[in-house]
Amino acid sequence: MTESGAQLFARLEARRCLKDIEKKLFPGDGGPENGEVVELYGSEGTGKTELLYHLLSRCLLPLSAGGLEVDVVFMDTDYSLDMLRLVSILDSRLNAARSSSSSSGSDEEVLGSCLSRLLVVHCSSSSQLLLTLHFLETTLTSRPRVALLLIDSISAFYWPDRCEGGTSVTKQEEKLSKCAELLGRLLRDFRITVFATCHAIRRNYSGPSSFSSSSSSSSSSSDIDRPFLCRPWQRLVAHRLLCSKETTNMAANNNREPKRRQMFTVHCTSSSSSSSSSSSKTKSYRSSSFCITDAGVEFI
């Protein structure tokens, strides 16, 4: 396969590192390096989508509003992207930044500039996802400012692929394995960062004792929600965010019943290669909590 000078330049040009995309989520020095994959894992209603909008907003917002000002490709496999919600979050954060500092440009212009950095692609099957990843190389070549690829969700076609593959596990995992192989090549050649949501499907029902309180460690949480996607995908994941939901009681005035408030917890497990051996990896952990407001995710 031949490569033009423009393609070579776009491939080798340093892309924006997203290490500081959200330091409250990741252990150590910060978030993912260039060429790393982050998996947001959890059952329905655990805040994965809102957390994804929070990270997406951080990338789209201008530097003057505390954002990273990079281009993002959003692959929507669940057809669940709520643009009105995303615009509402962006607008709230732009207004907050405008009230704290004087900035030029109308609200519509700045908001439009944010949205111009977003490219949305819809996929309705694993075959379509595979083809889209094939053509993504052209997009990355023509848009060197693209630093982030979001996939919501990578597990969307798990059950259709299982049905199509019959009794052969190899056939069931064939398309996702090819997607993981293509992603690995894009990570290596273009040094982008990938965030992907994954729905919890298999759970360990070992009894009520396994479901400890919010103070449980991230390692015990991973015993409850274990990775189930194919090995090629699991090998790509460098950071795994396990999302869960809990309800807390808030004190109420005038002898009223306490209000119940939904809180969300994220247990992050990050794997990094050991300096002494590239084959061995060390793991680090961090837990954080957040609530969801009209302006998006708010960490506690």
Examine the pLDDT at 76 and tell me if it is beyond 70: yes
**Is the model more confident about 252 or about 282?**
282
Walk me through the domains of the chain, giving residue ranges and CATH numbers.
5-205+214-242 (3.40.50.300)
What is the percent of the chain with per-residue pLDDT over 90, rounded to a whole number? 64
Count of CA atoms in the C-beta half-sphere (13 A) of 45: 4
Q: pLDDT (tens digit, 9 = 90+) per residue, 136-176?
A: 999 999 999 999 999 999 999 999 999 999 889 999 999 99
pLDDT band at 240 (very low <50, low <70, confident <90, very high): very high
Q: What is the pLDDT of residue 293?
A: 93
Evaluate if residue 220 carries a pLDDT over 60.
Answer: no
Provide the pLDDT confidence category of residue 204 given band limits of 50, 70 and 90: very low
- pLDDT for residue 280: 65
Per-residue pLDDT at 228 = 85
Burial class of residue 25, CB neighbours in 10 A (0-12, 13-18, 19+): buried
Considering the chain, what percentage of its residues have pLDDT values greater than 70? 78
Q: Tell me the per-residue pLDDT of 28-55, one tens digit each, with 9 for 90 and over.
A: 877 899 999 999 999 989 999 999 999 9
What is residue 226's predicted lDDT score, i.e. its pLDDT? Answer: 72
For the residues 270-284, what does the mean pLDDT come to?
A: 70
